[in-house]
Amino acid sequence: LHRHYDDMRAVRRFEEGTKHPDPEFPALWQILDETCPRRNGKADRDQIPPILEGPLLRSVIAETQYPAGLFSAVMRRIHTDREVNYVRACVIAGHLRRNLKQEVSMSLDTERKDPAYRLGRLFAVLEMVQQRAIEGINATIRDRFYSSASATPGTVFPRLLRTYQHHLAKLEGGAKVYFEKLAQEILAPVKEFPSHLGLVEQGQFALGYYHQAKDLWTSKADKQKEKGE
């Protein structure tokens, strides 16, 4: 069980003390809930793929690979809901670590050079700039472009970057300089936008997005706290 939680570890988006803190150790039912649609805010557990429950439990007890269907089911939900929450990030991290033997940091890894992870980070930055430029925006680029950006970045990112320049121009002072430098730093190792990302790379994209978004929102909260807001 300790090995399982170690393999699925990820930084929590909502820490203790917030209104709805993420569980430090997600239960198996919470993991399975992320494989099915939601109705009225609750998981429709009748839609959980029946082939996942037993194999997931066995993988935890026997320290074997997680069922491949778990990762693909969570990725489908991410593309449908356009949301990368904490438990979904845990599943992705667990698949990469245990099944694919990849090194995955618990939180933002600024040294990781994988294009997919970098583009996920960049997408989070572009979304934040849009939110800062257009206060009270109802639908962000995540609602419209997440699925296509993570699957066919070569087609989508040039368009997103053009829009980003318009949003960036609306920011002032330190914020504008900060986001401009951050985007440049993220893009530095990326030679070109891949025309297509496979499912594993889309998982890396989702993890990069989650890590960068968490880092950006934490920084914003810290600044508000310092100002007494």
Helix (H) or strand (E) holding 139: none
pLDDT attached to residue 19: 85
What is the per-residue burial (b if ≥16 Cβ within 10 Å, else e) of 115-142?
bbbbbbbbbbbbbbbbbbbeeeeeebbb
DSSP three-state, residue 154: helix
Task: Quick: pLDDT tens for 142-158.
Answer: 999 999 999 999 999 99
pTM of the model: 0.93
Distance CA 79, CA 37 (A): 12
Position of tokens 């709805």?
Answer: 20
pLDDT band at 220 (very low <50, low <70, confident <90, very high): low
Find the helix or strand (DSSP H, E) in which 35 lies: none
CB 59 within 8 A of CB 66: yes
Residues 6+ apart with CB under 8 A from 210: 10, 13, 84, 88, 89, 120, 124
Comparing C-alpha atoms, which of 97, 90, 95, 89 is closest to residue 120? 89
Q: What 3-state class would DSSP assign to 51?
A: coil
43 phi/psi in degrees, rounded to 5: -65, 135
Helical (H) or strand (E) element with 73: helix 68-81
H/E/C letters for each residue in 180-194? HHHHHHHHCCCCCCC
Q: In angstroms, rounded to a whole number, what is the distance separating the alpha carbons of residues 171 and 133?
A: 6
- In contact, 160 and 126? CB cutoff 8 Å: yes
Which residues does 173 contact at the CB level (< 8 Å), separation at least 6? none
Q: Which of 44-53, 56-65, 195-204 has the lowest mean pLDDT?
A: 44-53
- State the number of CA atoms in the 13 A half-sphere of 41 facing the CB: 0
- Please compute the mean of the pLDDT values over residues 199-203 and round it to a whole number: 98
What pLDDT digit, counting tens, does each position of 205-218 carry?
999 999 999 999 88
- Amino acid, single-letter form, for residue 45: R
Query: What confidence category does residue 222 fall into, taking pLDDT thresholds of 50, 70 and 90?
Result: low
Residue-wise pLDDT for 57-92, tens only, equals: 999 999 999 999 999 999 999 999 999 999 999 999
pLDDT at site 218: 85
What's the chain's average pLDDT? 93
